[in-house]
Amino acid sequence: MPEIRVTPLGAGQDVGRSCILVSIAGKNVMLDCGMHMGFNDDRRFPDFSYITRNGRLTDFLDCVIISHFHLDHCGALPYFSEMVGYDGPIYMTHPTQAICPILLEDYRKIAVDKKGEANFFTSQMIKDCMKKVVAVHLHQTVQVDDELEIKAYYAGHVLGAAMFQIKVGSESVVYTGDYNMTPDRHLGAAWIDKCRPNLLITESTYATTIRDSKRCRERDFLKKVHEAVERGGKVLIPVFALGRAQELCILLETFWERMNLKAPIYFSTGLTEKANHYYKLFITWTNQKIRKTFVQRNMFEFKHIKAFDRAFADNPGPMVVFATPGMLHAGQSLQIFRKWAGNEKNMVIMPGYCVQGTVGHKILSGQRKLEMEGRQVLEVKMQVEYMSFSAHADAKGIMQLVGQAEPESVLLVHGEAKKMEFLKQKIEQEFRVNCYMPANGETVTLPTSPSIPVGISLGLLKREMAQGLLPDVKKPRLLHGTLIMKDSNFRLVSSEQALKELGLAEHQLRFTCRVHLHDPRKEQETAVRVYSHLKSVLKDHCVQHLPDGSVTVESILIQAAAHSEDPGTKVLLVSWTYQDEELGSYLTSLLKKGLPQASS
Amino acid sequence: MDPECSQLLPALCAVLADPRQPVADDTCLEKLLDWFKTITKAGSSLLLLQENPCLVELLCHVLKPQDLSSRVLSFSLRLAGVFAAQEDCFQYLQQGELLPRLFGEPGPLGGAAWTAPSVRSGWIQGLRSLAQHPSALHFLADCGAVDTIFSLQGDSSLFVASAAGQLLVHILGLSMQGLAEGHPSLQAGDWPVCAQKIVGHIEESLHSTAVPQITQALNVLTTTFGHCHDPWTQVLWVRLSPLVGSLLEKDPVPAAHSLVDLLLSVARSPGLSSSSCGLWETLAQTLNHLSPTQAGPLALGILKLQDCPQVLRAQAFVILLQPLACVLKATGQDPGPSGVLDSATGDSLTVDVLLSSKAACVGLLCRTLAHLELLQPLPQRPCPWPQEPLLGAAVTLLQLCRGSASPASDVGRHLCALLLGCVRVQRAALDFLGTLSQGTGPQELVTEVFAVLLEYLRSPDSSPTVLKKAFQATFRWLLSSPKTPGCCDLEPHALLVLRELLPVLQKRLCSPCWEVRDSGLEFLTQMTRHWGGQAGFRHALLASEVPKLTEQLLRDPESYVRASAVTVMGQLSSQGLHVTPVSPEHPGGQQKSLLVELLHILSTDSEGFPRRAVMQVFTQWLRDHHADVAGDTEQFMARVLQVASQDLDWEVRAQGLELALVFLEQTLGQFHSHCPYAVTPPVAAPAGSLAQALQPLCRVRLFEFAFRALFDCDRPVAQKSCDLLLFLRAKTASSSGSLEESRSGPDVASVEAALQRWQAGDQGQPLGDLEPEVVAALDCSQALNEDSLMG
């Protein structure tokens, strides 16, 4: 029995590292290869020994697909490809391919720098890993091999985020990665066509959140920045060069324009160009508004946001600075933080996740005294705020996507068990499909009924047409023919053609039955009586009396013979083909009742 | 445990026990458990529980019916196991009947919580920690845990099922451990209850017709024999080997993959492989019974064994070679005079697999190539090694994949159709071909190897990953070309290849794919490193456009490529293979020198990789006394250190310190030998010469750079700076006595004050001009005592 098997090694009932194994029609695909940034040891990576147990990785896995550049989706990739030994293809979109190594490099530096880890992947490994990547375009069907094909759809979560359809023959699985069904300030909404997959694997981070509160979060953010600036404070926003940074810049730019604010906003040196470069390169991945505006003006070239210079940090008066890196672990953002931390009028807003061991993580956990390098203690008096701007679909959005794709089954990943349970029930009720939520390490097996294409011969179709009925999609009709398999193809042909093609002689199968009649007359007379009786009873059928004395009704043949022992009894030999089985049975039962008395 | 933690513990337990306070971060429970493990490893668990009654309360509390998260329950089970690993603590917990309630029927085992895989996993891991002493074994036997573990081997969660198998292995080992100590002679009938039960279960499973059950039993045995080599394992194998052997009578052989693992595990175990229970016969039989795909890993495993009958090795090698022998036969080639491949040609089963479908064909060939690639470099590889036929097979496969082979037989044509354009086989064959370069081959075959490699490098259809492997294999073959005695230049044939190769490389450096451009540059780096000094190579390279194109790649849009181009250019320049051309626009003057160009990259490139590559080149140049650097080393150093100190990438700054260290060594080298084995005894230099020696360091502002790095917020930079300053101190310590008087001078005080401000995070203010005397004094001062450097 063909089946689809799904085993999450990560993201099964949790929001840690995503790594899902899918087996479909004999092909094995790994969806995402994420890292858990909360761990410092081997636990940060998925346990790949469960795959290596099946032999060599490269032989077992047909491909790896990465949905987007966040480290909980791609962070284990260099480890997997360069240290565990996967040597096959890795698929991701072009923006993901461009941004992924920057993020991996950034994390490698933290691991080596902050945590002093020696056994970690190197820059060369990241590069070698990225060389195995095959970048894909949206809606482009990519043939992994002769049977396996994949196709990317827009996911709207971050620049370059994609959902992937994995298809082998008529079986398919869609994996959403992280997605957002409502457009935000720089990205569009996720979209997929009615591809009716056997299984939709969807994230469920906000499985129980019904209304997206992103607008509220934006308002809060603007309010906090505004208040800090109004009281003369400086606001530091540590960001990663790409993604949310651009969204927040657009947000502040618009707000500054509307409120006619004068406090300067700065963005880390060098990064504006880099970000602009990527957004220009991948403009098709942004939302419609940005794409349209781009013709007249680059939305990412801001009026109020200027390039930052190290010396500006000491300027008096309020200001807002976007600086990298996003976790305050090194570089410019940390330098500025050290300068501003001591003043309670100032504020730091952390718009994303921070890895343990970084200054970002420490201040978010409430630490107010930080031991910096060189044993000095830095007292944090500035206000510390955390605001998540991550864009995930809410429950309504997830339902919307399920409705769009019309899957046969749904499987939930990347969420908390309790919230998943709620959504699972909702999906099962509304769409009447099975919904699964395996934990990490649990395998869900879905039987599939493979659709086997069958060709039909022109002759057979013409014969059907000749009967005067035109084909109609809404009115299925029964069509008789012979199914033959030749050269690994199935074809429905007429039985004559089948015999001809296969070089076979026709055999006839007939059912026979003996009916005893009490009739002392001669056989010929009995036959005539039978003929007359049947002719009168079966008015709609063609009843014939043949010259040799036998009687036929359609394919049914009746012959009368004398009984060898009893001259007063005649034996009626009735035989018929399987096509007339019903009529044959009826006739025998009729004849068994006897013939009517002759009126003459 | 320190008192502060002890104080916090009740509050922590209260949070864990409160279902209204869910634990949001799934890692914190793991880390908490890590912490408890460290605590219990260092001291008595019993004492810990007695001093912190809240812990036992927590363990009792989780047993109450309530809406507690499965994570906390799982954590508690694991925690209980950690405590009960110490026997006295186990007894303590037993007194309260806590352990049966946690791990026995009345516990989570029978409740709704058991449906959560994390709880089942916690239960197993708890028992795994607990099972460390004889009391634990009695407990396991009494509470019926072993039966539950049996059933968990088939759990829906891979993690639980696998952990259950591991636990059985552990329990078996533990129970036999006690026996082995007391009873040197071993009789299976005398085995402890737990062990007997587990072995009985394994036997039952091996009798079963259900493949998953057989697999579980085989896996338990594999791990057991892999981890434990005590004498009792021999008794176990003698008892079970007939049952294992009987699996071979079934068709198809059930759980073949696990069976192979088990047999190899037994064969690797010194005690078991030498015992006379027909292991070699079983292995030979298994090789015959398994399908070609299944037999490959077994054959490889046998050939990797140190000690194994020659007949079996020969059989295994024939099986391993069969797919390639079929390829050679199908393409009408002679399998070679060695006879090994010749005897491997007849297997129709292998041909059937190869021709059955594309997936099967590709899978079998890739596995075979990978196995042979692993085998090739091993000392125990079969001898004679059929180098020639293997080379022929690898070349043929590559030709089949390109469609450049024209086989005459039907099988050959079929193979050609299946393999045409197959990237997987191309990659595997190129890797294998590269490995084969370690051996030799007749000249015609080597010519063929280069021809096929060039074909791949030239082909517009080659994918970037295939090209990368083709470059790697080409380099390895060039490297292995026979050398003319007394000359390390490329031999004439390799030079011919090189002349054909350079135009191809030229084309690849212009590829629209950055991966291809980068692989091309990496290839060029390797070639220049090896043959940069050789006339033949130099002529060929200089006659080509490659150096010019490489220089253009310094401005590539892709940072990885820019970085690789920097490395190559640095090397070309070192070898005198980069000549700054005269600019056609300014016939009188020259174009920007490479040094200027690299400095420009260092100060302006937005990505870290090219800047790091520049620093590496500069360090190498300084070491090699490169002409561009040697001209005015001080100016060079001053410029580079100034730019590097501003860099946001800590690795660039760290490499700046590396460069500084080289400069330091060169500057102070003549002044004082730091080598303890130096022939000349170190002589303390007069103060004047020390100050003189330090002068250039001051002029290039090396100290300001190093002191700034000392307070760098990135640890590796600070550490490297420490190394540098400690090195400097060691160098100057003996001669700085005469400079003592300057310690109290006004200059030293002001610099010390500035350094203290830097330490406090204010690095805006410069140190001013450092004089050698001040530096030497500072070097000995409190500000730089060893403790503060190491801190």
| Residue of A131, A331, A417 with shortest CB distance to B648 | A331
Please report the pLDDT score of residue B484 as a whole number. 55
Interchain CB contact of B154 with A (< 8 Å): no
Nearest CB to A270; choose among B70, B465, B606: B606
Three-state DSSP state, B326: helix
- Nearest-neighbour CA in chain B from A411: distance (Å): 16
- DSSP classification of residue B640: H
HSE-CB of B513 using CA atoms within 13 angstroms: 21
- Listed as own residue / partner, the contacts of B28-37 with beta carbons closer than 8 Å and 24 or more positions apart are B29/B71, B29/B72, B29/B75, B30/A39, B30/A43, B32/B75, B33/B75, B33/B78, B33/B79, B33/B82, B36/B79, B36/B82, B37/B82
Let me know: does B215 contact B208? Beta carbons within 8 Å: no
| Nearest Cα residue to B488 out of B440, B458, B455, B532 | B532
Q: What residues contact A375, with CB distance under 8 A and at least 6 apart?
A: B788, B791
SS3 call for A306: strand
Q: Is B355 in contact with B348 (CB distance < 8 Å)? A: no
Q: What's the N-to-C CA distance of chain B in angstroms? A: 25
The amino acid at residue B196 is: Q
The answer to whether B30 contacts A39, with C-beta atoms less than 8 Å apart, is: yes
The answer to whether B347 and B322 have CB atoms below 8 angstroms apart is yes
Set A105, A149, A171, A203: catalytic member: A203
Is A203 among the catalytic positions?
Answer: yes
A34-43, A292-301, B228-237, B574-583, range with the lowest pLDDT: A292-301
Minimal-distance CA residue of chain B relative to A106:
B649
Q: Cα–Cα distance between B15 and B163 in angstroms, integer?
A: 29
Q: How confident is the model at residue B509 (pLDDT cuts 50, 70, 90)?
A: very high
Angle at which helices B423-436 and B387-402 pack, to 10 degrees? 150
Angle formed by the axes of helices B464-480 and B492-508, nearest 10°: 160
Measured between alpha carbons, how far is B507 from B467 in angstroms, rounded to an integer?
Answer: 12
The burial class, CB within 10 Å (0-12 / 13-18 / 19+), for A158 is buried
Q: How many CB pairs under 8 A join A and B?
A: 117
Are the Cβ atoms of A372 and B761 closer than 8 angstroms? yes
> Residue B3 — pLDDT band, cuts 50, 70, 90?
confident
Taking Cα atoms as reference points, which of A229, A268, A236, A267 lies closest to residue A363? Answer: A236
CB contact under 8 A, B157 and A58: no
Which among A59, A376, A439 is the nearest to B118, CB-wise? A439
Residue B791 has a pLDDT of 39
Whether residue A441 and residue B648 make contact (CB cut-off 8 A), yes or no, is: no
Quick one: closest CA in B to A271, which residue? B606
The answer to whether A571 touches A562, Cβ cutoff 8 Å, is yes
Residue type, A405: A
Chain B stretch 373-412, residues whose beta carbon is closer than 8 A to a beta carbon of chain A: none
Nearest-CA distance B791 → chain A (Å): 6
> Which of A469-478, A560-569, B499-508 shows the lowest per-residue confidence on average (mean pLDDT)?
A469-478
**The pLDDT of residue B66 is above 80:** no
pLDDT band at B143 (very low <50, low <70, confident <90, very high): confident
Residue B403 C-alpha, separation from nearest chain A C-alpha, in angstroms: 17
Cβ within 8 Å of residue B171, ≥6 positions away: B131, B137, B140, B146, B149, B194, B198
Distance, CA of B12 to chain centre: 39
Question: Taking the CB of residue A551, how many other CB atoms lie within 10 A of it?
Answer: 25
Q: Give per-residue pLDDT as tens, A460-478.
A: 888 887 877 677 777 777 8
Quote the tokens at residue A513.
Answer: 């039955």
What's the mean pLDDT when you consider all of chain A? 87
Does the beta-carbon distance from B367 to A146 stay under 8 Å?
no
Q: Are B186 and B179 in contact (CB under 8 A)?
A: yes
Q: What's the pLDDT band for B768 if we cut at 50, 70, 90?
A: low
On the question of pLDDT at A362 being above 80, the answer is yes
At B550, is the secondary structure helix, strand, or coil? helix
- From A108, which residue of chain B is nearest by alpha-carbon distance? B651
Q: Is A483 helix (H, G, I), strand (E, B) or coil?
A: strand
Distance from CA of A383 to the nearest CA of B (A): 20
Cβ-based neighbours of A172, under 8 Å, separated by 6 or more? A24, A165, A166, A195, A197, A198, A199
Distance CA A347, CA A161 (A): 31
* Alpha-carbon gap, residue B591 to B220, rounded angstroms: 71
- Express as a percent the part of chain A with pLDDT over 90: 44
Decide if A73 contacts A177 (C-beta within 8 A): yes
Bigger pLDDT: B565 or B443?
Answer: B565
Which residues in chain B have their CB less than 8 angstroms from residue A72's CB? none
**pLDDT at residue B585 tops 70:** no
Out of A112, A147, A374, the one facing B791 most closely (by C-beta) is A374
**pLDDT: is A312 or B22 the higher one?**
A312
Band (B243; pLDDT cuts 50, 70, 90): very high
**What Å distances lie between residue B698 and B478, B721, B752, CA to CA?**
48, 16, 16
pLDDT tens digits along B630-668: 888 999 999 999 999 988 788 999 999 999 999 988 888
Q: Is A59 in contact with B156 (Cβ distance < 8 A)?
A: no
Helix (H, G, I), strand (E, B) or coil at B217: helix
Name the pairing type of β-strands A265-267 and A319-323: parallel
Task: Name the β-bridge partners of A267.
Answer: A307, A322
* Whether the bond into B242 is cis, omega within 30 of 0: no
B106 min Cα distance to partner chain A (Å): 25
The Cα A527–Cα A546 span in angstroms is 10
- Facing B26 at nearest CB: one of A14, A47, A331: A14
Using the Cβ of B610 and the Cβ atoms of chain A, whether some distance falls under 8 Å is answered with: no
Residue pair B497/B454 in contact (Cβ under 8 Å)? The answer is yes
CA distances to A326, B42, B429, B436 from B462, in Å: 40, 59, 14, 21
Residues of B in contact with A378 (CB under 8 A): 761
Asked if A242 and A159 touch (Cβ cutoff 8 Å), the reply is yes
The label of the residue with tokens 């049966």 reads B100
What is the distance between the alpha carbons of residues B548 and B571, in angstroms, rounded to a whole number?
14
* Paired tokens of B648: 């946001």
Q: Which residues of B touch A113 (CB under 8 A)?
A: 650, 714-716
The 10s digit of each residue's pLDDT in A39-57 is 878 888 999 988 877 778 8
Phi, psi of A535, deg, nearest 5: -60, -40
Q: What is the pLDDT of residue A210?
A: 62
Which residues face A410 on adjacent strands?
Answer: A200, A435
**Lowest-confidence segment of A503-517, B402-416, B472-486, B770-784 by average pLDDT:** B770-784
The average confidence (pLDDT) of chain B is 85
Q: Residue B179: which H helix or E strand, with range?
A: helix B158-182
CA angle, A233 then A239 then A240, to 5°: 165
Residues 513-532 of B with CB under 8 A from A: 515, 518-519
A59 and B710 within 8 Å at the Cβ level: the answer is no
Which helix (H) or strand (E) element contains residue A455?
Answer: strand A454-456
Of A89, A273, A375, the CB nearest to B791: A375
Between residues B429 and B349, the one the model is more confident about: B429
CB B159 to CB A441 under 8 A? yes
CB-CB under 8 Å, B162 with A55? no
Considering only the beta carbons, identify the residue of A88, A101, A146 that sits closest to B358: A146
Host H or E run for residue A557:
strand A556-562
**Shortest alpha-carbon distance between residue A66 and chain B (Å):** 18
Please report the residues numbered 697 through 716 in chain B whose beta carbons come closer than 8 angstroms to any beta carbon of chain A. Answer: 710-716
**Does pLDDT of B588 surpass 50?**
no
Burial of B594 (0-12, 13-18, 19+ CB in 10 A): buried
What share of chain B has pLDDT > 90, as a percent?
54
Q: Give the helix/strand (H/E) hosting B666.
A: helix B650-669
pLDDT tens-digit profile of A292-347? 776 666 666 778 888 887 778 888 999 999 988 888 877 788 889 999 999 999 99
**Are A241 and A326 spatial neighbours (Cβ–Cβ below 8 Å)?**
no
Least confident segment among A178-182, B102-106, B435-439, B612-616: B102-106
pLDDT for A16 equals 78
Say if the Cβ atoms of B70 and A47 lie within 8 Å. Answer: no
Helix H, strand E, coil C: the string for B480-523 is HCCCCCCCCCCCHHHHHHHHHHHHHHHHHCCCCCHHHHHHHHHH
- List the beta bridge partners of residue A24: A4, A27
Residue B31 CB partners (closer than 8 Å, separation 6+): none
Which residue, among A203, A322, A330, has the nearest Cα to A251 in the 3D structure? A322
Percent of chain B at pLDDT > 70 equals 83
Report d(CA B514, CA B526) in Å as an integer: 18
On the question of pLDDT at A351 being above 60, the answer is yes
CB contact under 8 A, A439 and B157: yes
User: Could you identify the residue written with the tokens 């709880």?
Assistant: B119
CA distance B241 to B279: 8
Which residues in chain B have Cβ-Cβ distances shorter than 8 Å to A375? 788, 791
d(CA A73, CA A50): 19
Tell me, what amino acid is at B392? G
Contacts B70 to A, Cβ<8 Å: 417
The amino acid at residue A399 is M
Instruction: Kindly report the backbone phi and psi dihedral angles of residue A281, in degrees, each rounded to the nearest multiple of 5, phi listed first.
Output: -65, -40
